[in-house]
Amino acid sequence: MPHVNQARATMADVARLANVSEKSVSRVVNQESHVSAKLREKVEAAIAELGYVPDLAARSLAGSRSFTVSLLFDTRGPNYAIKLIEGAYEACKRHGYHLRIENLDSFAGEDGWLDRLGEILSHSRLDGLIVTPPFSDSAVIMDYLEDRQIRFARIAPFKERGRGSCVFMDDAAAAAQVADFLVANGHRKIGLVNGALKHGAAIARREGFLNRIAQIAPEAEISEADGDFLFESGIRAGRALLDTSNAPTAIFAANDDSAAGVMTACAQLGIRVPDDVSICGFDDSWSATAVWPYLTTIYQPISELAHEATELLIAGNGAAVMNDQVLLAHRLIERASVKNLAR
């Protein structure tokens, strides 16, 4: 069983070369205070010469840190998941941390979640956990983690934002921006395709949109259709909304996938986008540019959310409790699926 890596320089090698104690090398590596500039220079030179990189296993065994954070996610939305991973990975890379991913089946139910979580935590130490939707709104998970004093950062939570560190965007404000945009483009008969309303995001988007419309264009006619964020529900909702004599001139779907479904419904009904009806999505996911015309949508800073959450976890290392709240900006991406009625 050969070691996978070559013989690597150890702290002892560095200490010998720099003619100092191992502990001093450790101090320099860990940027502890009370280290003279001269010592630091000597050590750093030796480190550079030997290409020394501290051994993670030894560090974690001897010390109280593991240099590892875990990302608790589920796979149902591939785009979402992969962007989370990207963001978290980047932050880890920057700080020399490792990212461990934990794929948890969101359909397993909260008991199933806890079982798996227990396993995950028992197998190894970790410096913190990034909790993503839908887990980030699970009170039992938070109880469990607080119980065991595991630091965690929540991504896009809607409940109890005071618990743990939270990183999120303002779904309601983003939906309101869509409302502004549609009204500014002259639309007054607007369809709304909802997401699964047990999700905080679906509720926030709906309310943000409706409230803003009520403010700025109370005369507007709004028709709603149920949806569940999936493509097929978009087709159904699109047909329900459009196959009437008094069809809307614009439709806002709660996410891009269902917006793509609405577009398909348009194709089936012989309705042109955006000439006959304008469509807005939400997420700026893969599917936003896998339809024609490309979808006007809200850019969600998904990988930034994960990045920021990871940064909080790493920076907060040592703190017993974390309680930051970070709001990240969304952005309306104007593409080709909305027509200005005034022109």
User: Can you give the binding site for DNA, defined by CB under 7 A?
Assistant: 1, 8, 10-12, 20-24, 26-27, 29-30, 33-36, 38-39, 52, 54-55, 58-59, 61-65
Supply the minimum distance, in Å, between the C-beta of residue 302 and DNA: 33
Task: Look at residue 124 and give the partner it binds from DNA, a second copy, none, a contact being a CB closer than 5 to 8 Å depending on partner kind.
Answer: a second copy
Interacting residues with a second copy between 131 and 170 (CB under 8 A): 148-151
Q: What is the DSSP letter of 327?
A: E
Interacting residues with a second copy between 261 and 280 (CB under 8 A): 264, 267-268
Angle at 257 between CA 235 and CA 130, to 5 degrees: 145
Supply the minimum distance, in Å, between the C-beta of residue 259 and a second copy: 11
Tokens 């490309």 appear where? Answer: 294
Please identify which residue in 12, 45, 48, 58 interacts with a second copy, judged by CB under 8 A: 58
Angle at 174 between CA 221 and CA 228, to 5 degrees: 70
Supply the minimum distance, in Å, between the C-beta of residue 218 and a second copy: 36
Angle at 214 between CA 180 and CA 157, to 5 degrees: 70
Helix (H) or strand (E) holding 250: strand 250-253
Distance between CA 131 and CA 156 in Å, rounded?
Answer: 9
Helix (H) or strand (E) holding 335: none
What amino acid occupies position 86?
Answer: E
CA distances from 57 to 2, 54, 300 (A): 17, 9, 36
Contacts of 106 (CB under 8 A, 6+ apart): 74, 76, 134, 135
- For position 82 contacting a second copy by CB under 8 A, the verdict is yes
Q: Is the peptide bond between 133 and the residue preceding it cis, with omega within 30 degrees of 0?
A: no
- For position 23 contacting a second copy by CB under 8 A, the verdict is no
- For position 323 contacting a second copy by CB under 8 A, the verdict is no
- For position 85 contacting a second copy by CB under 8 A, the verdict is yes
Supply the minimum distance, in Å, between the C-beta of residue 15 and a second copy: 19
Task: Look at residue 177 and give the partner it binds from DNA, a second copy, none, a contact being a CB closer than 5 to 8 Å depending on partner kind.
Answer: none
Contact 28, 45 (CB under 8 A): no
Region of 42-50, 172-180, 203-211, 283-291 interacting with a second copy (CB under 8 A): 283-291
- Per CB under 8 A, residues contacting a second copy are 1-6, 8, 51, 53, 55-58, 60-61, 64-66, 75, 78-79, 81-83, 85-86, 89-90, 96, 98-103, 121-128, 148-151, 231, 235, 257, 260, 264, 267-268, 286-287, 289-292, 317-318, 320
